[in-house]
């Protein structure tokens, strides 16, 4: 066997004779064997003189067939006359099917890789859109807040939002859509969009949750084999008085650090998750915040975090972390809380999306000018609440 690696071979591969061979084998699906002693079936394209020109003694062109379809061609060159026999051809016929399957599998694999690359790019763009719609830094004269989302995958079903309302009020939303990935993220973005529209229409937090519940319930019921619900929290904060009215829809109860008394409690309230039951009703709770109080909102991705031993982080451990870091007066409470979760996980993969929102009251309940928005690489949020006085919450692990 000789190797076609010289300039002579390059000329041969670009010649009309070689193209005639390719066309014949491709169109007929038959092998073609040519040497000094074989009949030339290509007319003037391939003559003994042409064999001499390219110093060929034997030449075999063989189709790779799969279900009578030519998947590719094999070419063999010999430096001796009659080098390729009928046995060679029969062996290649046997191998042709296996080679064709390998080629087809390689093509399918390549297409899958291309599809995965396209899907990864689409997910990356969706992630950027999702990050873009989350709130930026929001600061007011007497309020400072920060929120962050850590998806278990690239896209999150957890959400939070803040909407500036009239009369120095803010609408505050947080929740956790069931499931993960693309379906949950799409529902999450639909909820945020609804919140931003409804916030200017509803007068009470329970009206917001009722409207979201009906929208999610009706949307799910119209889709076959698709069911998704969401926990929810919505509040209206009066930034003049620091009074908070809020309603809960199955969400984790936010933690409330009372700065003056140095103790931790939780915002009380109950309610069914959004989208589970038609006509669900929600109660309205009230809270009065004071200077230096802090509120910590979180989704169950925090309390359900597990370590390498499969031990759950739990609400009690998280509450202890909140109390510890509030007593230390951490400048960036949200980072300290996330670090405690990471330390507990010991490198274990995240179990669920995580959303955290920390609100600090930095001033007294006095009239203030219209707050200004600031941009930031991290999502920041505002909120303020107080609940009916309840001593340290019961352990709900």
Spans of all domains in the chain: 7-110, 135-374
Which CATH code of 2.40.30.30, 3.60.40.10, 3.90.1150.10, 3.60.10.10 fits the domain covering 135-374?
3.60.40.10
Rounded Cα gap, residues 155 and 152, in angstroms: 8
Predicted pLDDT of residue 52 = 65
The H-assigned helical ranges of 179-306 are 181-198, 205-221, 300-303
**Cβ(158)–Cβ(176) below 8 Å:** yes
Q: Is the separation of the CB atoms in 71 and 104 below 8 Å?
A: yes
- Rounded Cα–Cα distance for residues 343 and 366 (Å): 40
61: its two tokens: 């062109």
Helical H runs in 229-351? 300-303, 314-327, 333-345
> How many DSSP H helices and E strands does the chain contain?
9, 15
pLDDT at 10: 75
pLDDT value for 343: 94
Q: Which CATH superfamily is domain 7-110 in?
A: GAF domain (3.30.450.40)
Q: Do the Cβ atoms of 208 and 198 come closer than 8 Å?
A: yes
pTM: 0.65
Provide the residue-wise pLDDT of the chain in tens; the chain has 397 residues: 445 556 767 777 777 777 888 888 888 888 777 765 554 455 545 555 666 666 667 777 888 877 777 878 887 777 676 777 778 777 877 777 778 778 778 878 777 787 777 766 666 766 676 676 777 667 877 888 788 888 887 788 899 888 889 988 888 999 999 887 778 888 888 899 899 999 999 999 999 999 999 998 886 554 444 568 899 999 998 988 999 999 999 999 999 999 999 999 999 999 999 999 999 999 999 999 999 999 999 999 999 999 999 999 999 999 999 999 999 887 789 999 999 999 999 889 887 888 999 988 888 876 544 444 433 333 433 333 333 333 333 344 4
For residue 173, what is the enclosing H or E element? strand 169-177
DSSP three-state, residue 306: strand
In DSSP notation, 19-70 reads HHHHHHHHHH---EEEETTSPP-SGGGS-HHHHHHTT-SEEEEEEEEETTEE
What lies within 8 Å, CB to CB, of 76 at 6+ separation is: 1, 58, 59, 60, 61, 62, 84
The sign of the torsion formed by the CA atoms of 7, 8, 10, 14 equals positive
- Does the fold of domain 135-374 match that of domain 7-110? no
């Amino acid at each position: 066997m000789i190797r076609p690696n010289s300039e002579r071979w390059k000329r041969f591969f670009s010649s009309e004779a070689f193209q005639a061979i390719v066309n014949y084998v491709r169109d007929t699906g038959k092998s073609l064997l040519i040497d000094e002693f074989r009949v030339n079936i290509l007319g003037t394209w391939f003559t003994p003189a042409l064999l001499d020109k390219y110093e060929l003694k034997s030449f075999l062109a063989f189709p790779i067939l799969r279900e009578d379809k030519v998947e590719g061609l094999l070419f063999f060159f010999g430096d001796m006359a009659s080098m390729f026999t009928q046995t060679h051809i029969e062996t290649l016929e046997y191998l042709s099917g296996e080679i064709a399957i390998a080629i087809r599998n390689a093509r399918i694999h390549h297409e899958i890789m291309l599809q995965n690359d396209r899907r990864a790019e689409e997910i990356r763009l969706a992630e950027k859109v999702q990050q873009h719609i989350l709130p930026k830094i929001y600061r007011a004269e007497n309020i400072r807040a920060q929120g962050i989302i850590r998806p278990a995958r690239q896209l999150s079903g957890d959400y939070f939002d803040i909407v500036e309302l009239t009369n120095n009020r803010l609408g505050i939303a947080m929740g956790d859509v069931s499931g993960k990935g693309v379906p949950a993220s799409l529902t999450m973005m639909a909820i945020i969009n609804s919140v931003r529209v409804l916030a200017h229409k509803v007068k009470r937090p329970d009206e917001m949750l009722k409207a979201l519940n009906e929208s999610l319930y009706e949307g799910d019921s119209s889709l076959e084999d698709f069911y998704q619900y969401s926990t929810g929290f919505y509040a209206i904060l009066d930034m003049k008085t620091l009074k908070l009215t809020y309603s809960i829809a199955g969400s984790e109860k936010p933690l409330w650090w009372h700065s003056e008394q140095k103790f931790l409690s939780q915002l009380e309230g109950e309610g069914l998750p959004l989208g589970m039951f038609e006509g669900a009703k929600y109660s309205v709770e009230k809270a009065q915040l004071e200077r230096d109080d802090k509120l910590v909102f979180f989704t169950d991705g925090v309390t359900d975090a597990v370590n390498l031993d499969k031990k759950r982080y739990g609400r009690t451990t998280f509450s202890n972390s909140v109390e510890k870091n509030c007593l230390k007066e951490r400048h960036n409470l949200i980072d300290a809380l996330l670090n405690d979760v990471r330390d507990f996980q010991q490198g274990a993969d995240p179990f669920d999306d995580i959303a955290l929102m920390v609100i600090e009251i930095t001033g007294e309940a006095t009239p203030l000018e219209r707050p200004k928005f600031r941009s930031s690489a991290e999502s920041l949020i505002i909120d303020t609440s107080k609940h009916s006085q309840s001593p340290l919450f019961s352990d709900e692990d």
